Amino acid sequence: MSYDALSFGEDDYYRLIGSKTASLMSAACAMGALAGIPSYQSRLAKYGNHLGMAFQIADDLLDYTACETITGKPSGQDLREHKVTLPLVGALANTTEGEHRQIRSFFDTANPSDEDISRIIGIVEERGGLEYARVHADRCAQMAQSSLLGLSEDPALSALSDAVSWVVDRQR
């Protein structure tokens, strides 16, 4: 029995990125609190989790939108590796039957061509997948910012706040 990559849904995606990028950033932020103000540990862990989620969604968006000269990797690399990320998940809800068949055929192709990847990127863009992922990245970023409310004003807090903007607005 083969694995159906397109059965990988939004909940699966969030579990995956929550288990990797978000948990790493959450742990780093919690550990930082232990070196500074231990009572901030829980709030900074939440900040790191939301920041990590926003970071990963933004990274997955870059795979659809950025060019190789900026990111250092070819666009569509996640698709080339048959990874289902949030832009694709968001688009799949709006695809026509024909587009869905094209996407399924793409995922059944062992070595997709650059043209195949471009076609899928076009479908994802046309069907709102990029905007869908942007909205979710922004929501995670807002939750990260909210986690900082009420913490002592100082340069470290400003740096944490600035990091949120950098994560969602970065180009690489």
Q: Name which of 15, 169, 168, 1 is nearest 84 in CA terms.
A: 15
pLDDT at 2: 45
Report the pLDDT value the prediction gives residue 160, as an integer from 0 to 100: 96
2-25 pLDDT, tens digit each:
458 888 999 999 999 999 999 999
Structural domains of the chain sorted by starting position, each given as residue range(s) with its CATH number in brackets? 7-163 (1.10.600.10)
Note the pLDDT of residue 35.
Answer: 86
Residue ranges, the chain, pLDDT below 70: 1-3, 68-74, 172
Question: What is the predicted pLDDT for the residue at 92?
Answer: 96
What is the structure's pLDDT at 1? 33
pTM of the model: 0.91
